[in-house]
């Protein structure tokens, strides 16, 4: 470990997108607390776009074992803010008076926390034994909340239905899927492009929904 007298952490370009994504997540939480769900959902999607490509950017530069370990940790901490806390705060902001909603949001955050902590341990062990990129995930990645939450928010808003209930059900289902050990193949570039197109469609749908809600 480098003990030179400088700021703690790593500040090369491989982590910038992760930092930016975290700031989007934090901004989204502030928006949710101010009952600005539309802006919070936009921030969630922006954080999702950042997360989609931060690993690709990180792979363009040779990194020390310490830098790789730091990247694993900082990515998961950022994911907990962006895709754990932020979706829960969006759901909470839609129905602050319901104890049931609060409990469901807490359950969602807890499942996201457990999944991300487990992923950190698993990824560190994997990197000790292999230099190859990860090919499989166990369970649904928390980052998919950046796609499903906006879609449910906009669709139920357009239909004039109970968005708070629909989103509460959505995050409970996602929370369970976070922890189910179902193998999922990590998307390659084509898969990322498909997710990107789906994300752009979700952005358009959310913007359209704003004019109808």
* Annotated domain spans of the chain: 16-210
Flag whether pLDDT at 211 surpasses 70. no
Spatial separation of the C-alpha atoms in residues 110 and 127, rounded to whole Å: 26
Mean pLDDT of the chain: 85
Average pLDDT for residues 113-131, to the nearest whole number? Answer: 83
> By C-alpha distance, which of 58, 52, 46, 86 is closest to 174?
86
Flag whether pLDDT at 3 surpasses 70. no
Coil, strand or helix at 54: helix
Flag whether pLDDT at 4 surpasses 60. no
- 33-37, 104-108, 124-128: segment of lowest average pLDDT: 124-128
> By C-alpha distance, which of 186, 175, 165, 187 is closest to 142?
175
Spatial separation of the C-alpha atoms in residues 122 and 32, rounded to whole Å: 33
Please give the residue that has the higher pLDDT: either 105 or 209.
105
CA dihedral 91, 94, 97, 101 (to 10 degrees): -20
Flag whether pLDDT at 194 surpasses 80. no
CATH assignment of 16-210, among 1.20.140, 1.20.120, 1.10.3470, 3.30.1490? 1.20.120
Residue 116 tokens, joined: 């991300």
* Predicted pLDDT at 196: 72
User: How many other C-beta atoms lie within 10 A of the C-beta of residue 58?
Assistant: 20
Flag whether pLDDT at 55 surpasses 80. no
Residue 180 backbone phi and psi in degrees, to 5 = -75, 125
Question: Which residue bears the tokens 């769900």?
Answer: 37
Spatial separation of the C-alpha atoms in residues 197 and 193, rounded to whole Å: 6
Residues with Cβ within 8 Å of residue 145, at least 6 apart in sequence: 44, 48, 83, 87, 171, 174
Flag whether pLDDT at 2 surpasses 70. no
- On whether the CB atoms of residues 108 and 84 are closer than 8 A, the answer is yes
Please give the residue that has the higher pLDDT: either 70 or 168.
168
């Amino acid at each position: 470990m480098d003990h030179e007298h400088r700021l703690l952490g790593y500040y090369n370009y491989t982590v910038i997108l992760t930092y930016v994504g975290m700031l989007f997540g934090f901004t989204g939480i502030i928006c949710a607390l101010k009952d600005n769900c539309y802006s919070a959902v936009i921030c969630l999607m922006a954080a999702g776009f950042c997360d989609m490509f931060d690993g690709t950017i990180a792979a363009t530069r040779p990194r020390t074992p310490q830098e790789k370990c730091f990247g694993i940790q900082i990515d998961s901490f950022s994911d907990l803010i962006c895709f754990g806390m932020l979706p829960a705060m969006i759901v909470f902001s839609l129905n602050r008076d319901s104890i049931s909603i609060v409990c469901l949001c807490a359950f969602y955050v807890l499942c996201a926390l457990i999944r991300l902590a487990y992923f950190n341990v698993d990824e560190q062990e994997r990197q000790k034994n292999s230099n190859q990129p990860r090919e499989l995930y166990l369970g649904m990645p928390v980052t998919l909340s950046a796609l499903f939450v906006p879609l449910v928010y906009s669709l139920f808003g357009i239909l004039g239905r109970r968005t708070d209930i629909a989103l509460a059900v959505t995050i409970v289902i996602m929370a369970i899927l976070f922890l189910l050990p179902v193998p999922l193949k990590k998307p390659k570039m084509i898969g990322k492009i498909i997710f990107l197109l789906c994300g752009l469609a979700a952005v358009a749908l959310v913007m359209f929904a704003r004019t109808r809600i």
